[in-house]
Structure 1
C-alpha cells in the first residue's frame, strides 16, 4: 500500500495513459461495430436499444453516488494510514449497493409499462419486446451497482491497470455480444440477457482482483459502530447524485430547445458539431479519473502542497494540449466541416463548431476544480453550483436560441 499512498507524477501519468487507451479502444469498437449492429437490428430496433441504454443510464442515479464515495473514503483512509477501516467501508458500501440495486430494479420494472405504452413512442409491434427488454435490463442494476463499488476500490488504490484490464474487454464484449445475438436471430431481450451475463463476469473479476491485492478485505466483523459510516457515505454520495441529475440536463437541454424552438434539421446541424468536438473530453476525463483518488489520498495525508501542485500542473497540461487543438479547429472549422459533412453543413455550422470548440476547452478546465472539490470532501459546493447554474442556463439558452438559433445555443453552452 505504500506505493499507492505515495502519489507520484509518474504514477498519475501512467494511469492517465491507461485510461485514455481504454476510452479510445471503446470508442473505436463502437465506430467499427455500430454500422453492423444498425443493419442487423434495423433502424427501429436499434433506436429502441439506444433508448433503453439512455434510460438505464438515468436509473443509475439509484446508486446515490456510493461508488464515487467508496473511491473517496478508501483513498482518504489510505492517505491517513487507516487501512484497518477499509474493509468496513467497502462491505458497508456493497451492502448499500445491493439494497439500492434492488430498489432501482423494482422501480424500473414498475415504471416499464408506463414508459413503453404512454411516454415513449414505440411502434405497436415492438411494445412486447420493449417491455421484456426493460425487465431483463432491470435485473442487471444490482450487479452494476455492486461492480461500481469494487471498481471504485481499485481506483482508490491507483490500480487503473486492473480497472482497464476488466472494463476495456467488457466494453468491447458488449458490442460483440450484440453482434452474436443478431447472428443467432435473437430479439432485444435475448441480446440484453447476453450482456447481463457478461456483467456477472465483470463483477466476479472485480471481486477476485480486489481480494487478490487486498486479502485483508476478508477481515470483516459486524459491529454497531459500523452504522456511523452510513451518514458519511450518504452525505457525500447524495451531493454527488445531485450533480449527477443536474449535469445531464445542462448537457442535453440545448438540443431539446433547438428541436422545440427551431426544427429537427437545426438539431442535426448543431449535433454534428457537438458530437465531433466533445470527443476531445476523452483527454481531460482520462486525467481526472486518475486525479480524483489522488486528491482524496493527499487530502487524507493533509498534503496540501502536493495537492496544489498536481492541480495546477494538470490544468496547465490540459490548457496547452487542448488549447492548441481548439485553435486549429477554430481556424479551419469551415474546411473541416466541408470535408467531413459537405458544403451545406459547413455554411450552417461553422460558427457553431468554433464556439463549441472554445466551450469544450473551458469545460475541460472545469473538470479539475470539480474533481478537487470532491476529492477534499466538498461535493456539496459543486452540487450547489450546479443548482444555481441550472435556472440561469435555462433562461439564457432559451433566449439566445430564439434570437440567434443554433449559434445562440452554442453561445449559451459556452457562457
Structure 2
C-alpha cells in the first residue's frame, strides 16, 4: 500500500509550483491562440523553416547554457546561507556563459559561410541565435536555487503576453514570417535586462573581477551535465535537423506541428519538476533512501494523473490537429498518436534521471545512459526517416524515450541498492 506524501514538507515546493503553474498555464494557452493563426497566415512551409532554424540554433543554446541550470541551482540550494559563495557562483556562471556566447557567435559566422541554407536565411538564424543567447544569460537558475520564482514567473508572463499581442499586430501575410524570429529575440533581451537588474538589487549581487581559474573550475564541474544536456537537445532537435536534410520544409512543418502539441502536453509537468529539483537536492543530501521513496510516490501519482489526459489526446488527435492547424490533418494527427505517450516518459525520465541521479552525484551514470540512447537514436533515425519520413522520425523518438526510461530507472535502483548495502 502506498503511503500518502506529507505535504507539510513541500510548503516551499508547492508555493513555487503554483507560481510556475500559473505562468505555465499561460504558456500553454497562448500557443493555442497563436499557432493556428501563424499556420494559416505564413503557411506550413515557412513554419517548417522556422522550426528547422530553431532546432539548429538550440545546439548553440545548449553550449551557452552548459548545464548550469542544474549544477548552479543545486549548489545554491545546498548552500543557501553562504552569501559569499552564491555571489562568486553568480559571477562565474555569467562570465562563463558570456565566454561560451562569444564562441557560439564565432562558430555561427563560420557555419553561415559554409552552409547555403544558413546564408540564404542569415537574418532568421542570427535573430534566433541571439534569442537563445540572451535567454541563457538571464539568471533563471538563480531564482530556482533560492526557491523564489514569483518575480521570474511574473516577468515571463508579462513578456509572453506582449509577444503574443505583437504576433497578431505584426504578422498579417506570408512575407511577415521573419517576425517569428525577431519577437523571441526582443523578448529575450528584455528578460535578460529585467532579471539581471532585479537579482543584483534584491540579493546584493556585485560583479567581481574575472577569475579565469574559477570559471574553468565551473566549466569542469559541469562537464557531465553539459554532455547530458547535449543529449536532451539531441533528441529535441537532431531528429528535426535530420528530417530537414532528408526531406523538405513541408515535411518538417508537419512533424513540427505534431511535435508542438506533444511539447505542450510535456510542458504541463515543468512547474512541478522545476520546483522539485532544489527540494530534492536538499532532501537527498539529508537522507537519500527516504528521498528516493518520496520520488517513487511522485512517479506513481503523476502517472495516474497523466495517463487519462494522454488517452484523451490519443483519441481526439484528429480534432486537435483540425483545431490547431487546419491543414495536413491526417498526417499530423497520426504523428500525434504515435508520440502521445512521450510526455509521460519525459516526466518519469526527469524524476529518475535529473531529480535523482544528478542530485546524488551520479552524473557519469546519467551521461552513459544518455549516450547509449543517443547511439540508439542515430541507428534508428536515418533508415526510418528515409523510408517513412516524419512517421519514421516519430517512431525513432518514441523508442529512444522508452529506452531512456528503462535505463535510468535501472541505474537509479542500482544506486539506491548500493547505498542500502553500505
TM range (shorter): 0.7 to 0.9
Match of 1:412 in 2: 399
Could you tell me how far apart the structure 2 residues matched to 1:189 and 1:346 are? 28
Match of 2:124 in 1: 133
Decide whether aligned partners of structure 1 residues 251 and 305 sit closer, same or farther in structure 2, where only a CA change above 3 A counts.
Answer: same
Decide whether aligned partners of structure 1 residues 390 and 51 sit closer, same or farther in structure 2, where only a CA change above 3 A counts.
Answer: closer
Match of 2:368 in 1: 384
* Cα pair 1:15 1:158 within 8 Å, conserved: yes
Could you tell me how far apart the structure 2 residues matched to 1:191 and 1:359 are? 27
Counting only pairs closer than 5 Å after superposition, residues 11-410 of structure 1 correspond to structure 2 as 11-38=12-39, 40-41=41-42, 45-63=46-64, 64-78=66-80, 81-115=81-115, 118-119=116-117, 127=120, 130-140=121-131, 142-147=133-138, 150-182=139-171, 192-193=181-182, 195-215=184-204, 217-218=205-206, 222=209, 227-228=213-214, 230-231=216-217, 233-251=218-236, 276-299=261-284, 302-304=286-288, 307-326=291-310, 333=314, 335-337=315-317, 339-340=319-320, 356-371=339-354, 372-395=356-379, 409=396
* Cα pair 1:155 1:163 within 8 Å, conserved: no
* Cα pair 1:236 1:377 within 8 Å, conserved: no
Instruction: Indicate the RMSD between aligned Cα atoms, in angstroms.
Output: 4.3
Normalized against structure 2, the TM-score is what? 0.73
State whether structure 2 residue 9 is matched by structure 1 residue 8.
yes
* Cα pair 1:337 1:345 within 8 Å, conserved: no
Report the 3-state secondary structure (helix = DSSP H, G, I; strand = E; otherwise coil) of the residue aligned with 2:361. coil
Cα offsets for 1:306-337 (capped at 9, x unmatched): 633542332122122113434566xxx4x534
Structure 1: stretches of 5+ with no match in the other structure: 1-6
Normalized against structure 1, the TM-score is what? 0.74
Could you tell me how far apart the structure 2 residues matched to 1:16 and 1:296 are? 16
C-alpha displacement of 1:358: 4.2
Cα offsets for 1:99-142 (capped at 9, x unmatched): 11122123223322333xx246x9xxxx3xx2233344444555
Cα offsets for 1:43-63 (capped at 9, x unmatched): 655444443333222210221
Match of 2:418 in 1: none
* Cα pair 2:67 2:226 within 8 Å, conserved: yes
C-alpha displacement of 1:159: 1.2
Report the 3-state secondary structure (helix = DSSP H, G, I; strand = E; otherwise coil) of the residue aligned with 2:111. helix
C-alpha displacement of 1:162: 1.8
Decide whether aligned partners of structure 1 residues 139 and 306 sit closer, same or farther in structure 2, where only a CA change above 3 A counts.
Answer: same
C-alpha displacement of 1:398: 6.7
Cα offsets for 1:28-70 (capped at 9, x unmatched): 2122123434455566554444433332222102212234332
Decide whether aligned partners of structure 1 residues 52 and 227 sit closer, same or farther in structure 2, where only a CA change above 3 A counts.
Answer: same
Decide whether aligned partners of structure 1 residues 37 and 10 sit closer, same or farther in structure 2, where only a CA change above 3 A counts.
Answer: same
* Cα pair 2:92 2:214 within 8 Å, conserved: no
Structure 2: stretches of 5+ with no match in the other structure: 1-7, 323-327, 404-422
Alignment size in residue pairs: 385
Could you tell me how far apart the structure 1 residues matched to 2:246 and 2:52 are? 23
C-alpha displacement of 1:385: 0.8
